[in-house]
Amino acid sequence: MSSTLSFSTMVLNWFDRHGRKDLPWQQHITPYRVWVSEIMLQQTQVATVIPYFLRFMERFPDVQVLAAAKEDDVLHLWSGLGYYSRARNLHKAANYLIENYQGVFPNSVETLCELPGVGRSTAGAIAAIAMGIRAPILDGNVKRVLARYQAVQGWPGKTAVARTLWDIAESYTPEDRTAEYTQAMMDLGAMICTRTKPACALCPLMESCVALQQGKETCFPEPKPRKILPEKSVRMLMIINDAGEVLLEKRPVTGVWGGLWSFPEVITESDLDGQVADKVGITLDRIEKWEPFRHTFSHYHLNITPVKASVKQGASMVAESGRWQWYHFDNPSELGVAAPVKKLMEKLRQSL
């Protein structure tokens, strides 16, 4: 491979031979399908996304159906994918498209950026892949390739570093075959220029890659300056009534797992009974503490102690409001729950 070829030609030549062309969102390409896939692929691997994407498309085949759905139904299909604000934003954005654009995606990066949850890179991907518009992208994969190729110093979370990378991305994006080039860059980052073990020997950019020449491939992009994550603790109460149902609480829309269903929580160990009586109006019986475990968010560790208990008194006091519900394992309703809650529910079901 000669380095006299342009960057995009080297990448496209590689893509023609090795790029992925059979992913579900590469078939029947529409802005809607590209948008949903791009949102799902943020923070999540392709292999994990595929079944979620297929289920999502079956249930919500277009913007109109998604906009008309209940948020709970959207969150339910998202259960286990994490970063649930992505699902809420998809739902909001579908409604925004109906209200402002008659359900048709606007055809510029600037207007696509109006959609909740759509940043410049996602807008660029929709524009390039679904509309053939020349627009750069800079998702995690592309950032890594470019930062290494030009040995860009600094953490890309810093504005100045991000600006440099956007300028490079812009300068390399070709006029022709923009859609394939965009897909090619994502593939190159995911398949060859991987985070810990880049396969430089197979890379179409190896002759001119500065990081490789310096023997410092994995030093770029520079990591975020480390900080120690704070810890929080919580007790999750798995309260079972006489009918074998477990009490669930809908979480507030803001905060972690916003809008999802979870077990009622208390912060401290002391006076568990009193706290529950105050919060839910229930007296507990047969309290059984389970092994604590840790769930890590991007900004803190959450130490979770599950506590199983049965209701002694007051189960009927839990109003059938939108906030609480008794969930029956034999007759499950479709709910959005966070991954650790889902896991605990499964353990709980087996223990009954």
Catalytic residue numbers, as ranges: 38
- 3-class secondary structure, 140: helix
Shortest separation between residue 198's beta carbon and ligand SF4, angstroms: 4
Euclidean distance between CA atoms 21 and 29, whole angstroms:
12
Alpha helices in the chain (DSSP H): 7-18, 31-41, 46-59, 63-68, 71-78, 85-101, 109-112, 120-125, 131, 140-149, 159-172, 178-187, 210-213, 272-280, 339-351
The reply to whether 162 sits near ligand SF4 by the rule CB under 6 A is no
Euclidean distance between CA atoms 48 and 265, whole angstroms:
30
Tokens at 238, concatenated: 């798995």
The reply to whether 11 sits near ligand SF4 by the rule CB under 6 A is no
Q: Are 282 and 317 in contact (CB under 8 A)?
A: yes
The reply to whether 168 sits near ligand SF4 by the rule CB under 6 A is no
The reply to whether 211 sits near ligand SF4 by the rule CB under 6 A is yes
The reply to whether 94 sits near ligand SF4 by the rule CB under 6 A is no
The reply to whether 10 sits near ligand SF4 by the rule CB under 6 A is no
Euclidean distance between CA atoms 306 and 289, whole angstroms:
6
The reply to whether 206 sits near ligand SF4 by the rule CB under 6 A is yes
The nearer residue to ligand SF4, 145 or 248, going by C-beta atoms, is 145
Q: Out of 1, 50, 200, 256, name the contact with ligand SF4 by CB under 6 A.
A: 200
Phi (first) and psi of residue 206, to 5 degrees: -60, -30
The three-state DSSP-derived secondary structure of 244-259 is CEEEEEECCCCCCCCC
The nearer residue to ligand SF4, 146 or 280, going by C-beta atoms, is 146
The reply to whether 40 sits near ligand SF4 by the rule CB under 6 A is no
The nearer residue to ligand SF4, 16 or 285, going by C-beta atoms, is 16
Q: Out of 81, 112, 138, 145, name the contact with ligand SF4 by CB under 6 A.
A: 145
Query: What residues line the site for ligand SF4 (CB under 6 A)?
Result: 145, 148-149, 192-193, 198, 200, 203, 205-206, 209, 211-212, 217
